[in-house]
Amino acid sequence: MKVMAVDLIDSLCAIVGSGHVLTGDAAAPYCEDWRGRYSGSALAVVFPADTQQVADAVKLCAENNVAIVPQGGNTSLCGASVPLPQGVQIVLNLSCMNRIRAMDASNYTLTVEAGCTLESVRLAAEQANRLFPLGLTAIASHCEIGGNLSTNAGGISVLRYGNMRDLVLGLEVVLPDGRIWDGLRSLRKDNTGYDLKHLFIGAEGTLGIITAAVLKLFPRPQAVATACVAVRDPAAAVALLAHLRVTCGDKISAFEIISRTCLDLVFQHIPDTREPFAGKHEWVALVELSDALLVSLDAPLRAALQAFGESVVESAVTADRDQSEIWWRLRKNISEAQKREGVSIKHDVAVPLSRVAEFIAEASAALRAAYPGVRIVAFGHMGDGNIHYNVSMSDAEENKAFIEQHEHDVNRIVYGIVHALNGSISAEHGLGQLKRDEIRQYKSEVEMDVMRSIKHALDPDGLMNPGKVL
């Protein structure tokens, strides 16, 4: 086995060059996940420079029955992008494949390699006076397009532009046997058989390795207005969004909600942040309108908020970029503030928009009854019915014991309510290792079985990212 591994590494070096293969300590950073929750070990971490090298490496691994973990920026929140602990897998890191292959501004498309960071893609679009709208609040300079595709990334702009899945016209994929599927089409309409790209998007690298993509671009917004709105409760926020959809139509480009606990954590841990209003409020919504034309949006937004009536406790509207950034910092720093505060039991859930308020009320009541004094950090993409719902105890010592003893039961309570409301236990983070077992509680046997059939059809030897998703 040892000799075999050495042979394999020699062969990998022959494919990508020995400077692009890491082993031992040098490989370790690529074997730990973003949240520090999963730590694995790899035979080697391999950095191919182009699609052919990926294909050759995959073919070699397939012939030797060695499993592969595809990796981009390694920012998975579910342990999807790190190897398992046994040390028998190869990490195939796409970060060196970071070329912009083509910009077609009049077709509103951009062809990029999987290793491009989201930030670099957004920048390339901007330079051609176009928008690539995927909006991840904190990690755009780390996460890579291949990972965004493989997890069908969401973020703050889904309400207007859709998930990553909706932002793609074509893919190039190296299949588990090393063949290259060139599906790099840049067509708005193509009905010639099964739409294979949707299989690989969101599959977390378990069906093949995405090496390049044709992305959809949009006109850049010329006008933006932002409102910070204190609302009575989540139900009022849902009603406000419904009201705004009627009065402001599809100009709404973001609708986020932040609870009092989130705000307090941000004020405590993030410098230069402060209450958006003179008084303290339990729930604050951030609303953004945008328009591809240079029109005035702040006046209509202000009027719409006034017309909504007394469920809006207090509100402020701005078209000024600096002022809106001050508000957005509150939202964008919640994750960082939580990280500094300590660990928590995190949930990334979605329910139909019409049931968001019900979810928050029911889950909070159930958790408070079961664990008096529990701290709930609820925030997120209300416009998509997607709430990040994190649970902990304020006291650090107590919290440690709480998580150790009760994580499983807390998940049961939260996911049980989500499931009863026809929701999803992973709205935008995927399954990875974290929710691989959990999902079997909530998905039908029929659905699991169809997923297994697909997996078996494309990867019969189970060599693509085993131990994740399925």
Give least dist CB 108 to a second copy, A.
Answer: 7
CB of 281 or CB of 429, closer to a second copy:
429
Report the run of H or E that residue 209 belongs to, with start and end: strand 209-216
Of residues 341-400, those binding a second copy (CB under 8 A): 350-355, 381, 383-386
Give least dist CB 162 to a second copy, A.
Answer: 8
Span from 138-146, 263-271, 335-343, 419-427 in contact with a second copy (CB under 8 A): 419-427
Q: Do the beta carbons of residue 456 and residue 59 sit within 8 Å?
A: no
CB of 22 or CB of 312, closer to a second copy:
312
CB of 251 or CB of 406, closer to a second copy:
251
Cα dihedral 71/77/82/83 (nearest 10)? -130
CB of 3 or CB of 446, closer to a second copy:
446
Of residues 206-245, those binding a second copy (CB under 8 A): 207, 218-219, 222, 238, 242, 245
Give least dist CB 457 to a second copy, A.
Answer: 4
Alpha carbon separation from 266 to 260, 339, 377 (Å, rounded): 10, 11, 11
Q: Which residues contact 122 (CB under 8 A, 6 or more apart)?
A: 132, 134, 140
Q: In this chain, which of 126, 250, 395, 409 binds a second copy, going by CB under 8 A?
A: 250
Q: Tell me: does residue 431 bind a second copy (CB under 8 A).
A: yes
d(CA 407, CA 346): 9
Of residues 295-324, those binding a second copy (CB under 8 A): 300
| Residue that has been written with the tokens 């509207």 in this structure | 317
Q: Tell me: does residue 91 bind a second copy (CB under 8 A).
A: no
Give least dist CB 62 to a second copy, A.
Answer: 15
Strands 168-174 and 180-183: antiparallel
d(CA 224, CA 302): 13
Residue among 114, 202, 178 nearest 469 (CA): 202
Give least dist CB 135 to a second copy, A.
Answer: 13
CB of 265 or CB of 334, closer to a second copy:
334
Q: Tell me: does residue 126 bind a second copy (CB under 8 A).
A: no
| Residue that has been written with the tokens 């609302």 in this structure | 231
Give least dist CB 465 to a second copy, A.
Answer: 13
Of residues 19-78, those binding a second copy (CB under 8 A): none
Of residues 97-116, those binding a second copy (CB under 8 A): 104, 106-109
Three-state SS for 97-157 is CCCEEEEEHHHCEEEEECCCEHHHHHHHHHHCCEECCCECCCCCCCCEHHHHHHCCCCECC
Q: What tokens appear for 107 in the block?
A: 């077709």
Q: In this chain, which of 4, 6, 26, 292 binds a second copy, going by CB under 8 A?
A: 292
CB of 83 or CB of 183, closer to a second copy:
183
- As to burial, measured by CB atoms within 10 angstroms (0-12 exposed, 13-18 middle, 19+ buried), residue 462 is middle
Give least dist CB 183 to a second copy, A.
Answer: 7
Task: Kindly state the number of chain residues that form the binding site for a second copy, as judged by CB under 8 A.
Answer: 92
Alpha helices in 219-355 (DSSP H): 234-248, 260-269, 298-308, 321-332, 334-341
CB of 117 or CB of 253, closer to a second copy:
253
| Residue that has been written with the tokens 């973020």 in this structure | 155
Q: Do the beta carbons of residue 213 and residue 112 sit within 8 Å?
A: yes
Of residues 149-168, those binding a second copy (CB under 8 A): 151-152, 154, 158-159, 162-163, 165-166
Q: What tokens appear for 152 in the block?
A: 């069908």
CB of 68 or CB of 439, closer to a second copy:
439
Q: In this chain, which of 5, 326, 361, 451 binds a second copy, going by CB under 8 A?
A: 451
Give least dist CB 210 to a second copy, A.
Answer: 14
Give least dist CB 179 to a second copy, A.
Answer: 5
CB atoms within 10 A of CB 412: 15
CB of 377 or CB of 470, closer to a second copy:
470
Give least dist CB 33 to a second copy, A.
Answer: 17
By rule CB under 8 A, what string of x and - marks binding of each residue 174-213 to a second copy?
-x---xxxxx-xxxxxxxxxxxx-xx-xxx---x------
d(CA 153, CA 72): 13
Alpha carbon separation from 393 to 93, 270, 338, 382 (Å, rounded): 37, 20, 12, 24
